[in-house]
Amino acid sequence: MSDLAPGLTAGRPRQIIAAARTLLEEEGAEALTMRRLADRVGVKAPTLYKHFPDKSSVVTALAGEMLRETAGVLEAAERDHPGSFVGLATAYRAHALAHPHLYLLTMGSAVLPVGAAAAAAAPLFRAAGGDEGRARAAWAFAHGMVVLELNGRFLPGTDLAAAWEAGIAAFAVRGREGAG
């Protein structure tokens, strides 16, 4: 698990977020309730409210954690494959599929920590040559593919690798990389 935002790095808040993440990753978003979280931490629900005013603040903290992890994963992919949308898309997909409940919760969150979201987007922005529209379109492709895959929306037998390769090829910078 990555470092949490300042103020959540020690003690009870960190314990609560760690427990929330475990509950979420093991059982899905429906299981993430303040009562279930309190049981997981071993406290009464009112104790949680001393650290997090409501469930949405727990979700925001989890989303921040996922975005910081995603930024780290994408920065590593960028170091390994400078300027490569192929490398970024592959790393993005792998990380999202490894944490499906956390990914879906994060991307469905009404409030995303702005700094963490910007850090996660920075490698893609650089791979898109600083073209904001291209970066947004590339993210929309990768995000849409991941969400469809996680929600089982592709027909059985669909060649997802081919679909990813086609999408990646559409965004690969000409002359710098190919689709594979």
> Contact, 91 vs 76, CB < 8 A?
yes
What is the helix (H) or strand (E) element at residue 127, kind and residue range? helix 114-127
Whether the model pTM is above 0.75: yes
Residue 10: DSSP 8-state: S
pLDDT digits (tens, 9 = 90+) for 119-152: 999 999 999 999 999 999 999 999 999 999 999 9
Residue 173 has pLDDT above 60, yes or no: no
**69: how many CB neighbours lie within 10 A of its CB?**
20
Instruction: For 77, list phi and psi in degrees, rounded to 5.
Output: -65, -40
pLDDT digits (tens, 9 = 90+) for 93-115: 999 999 999 999 999 987 888 89
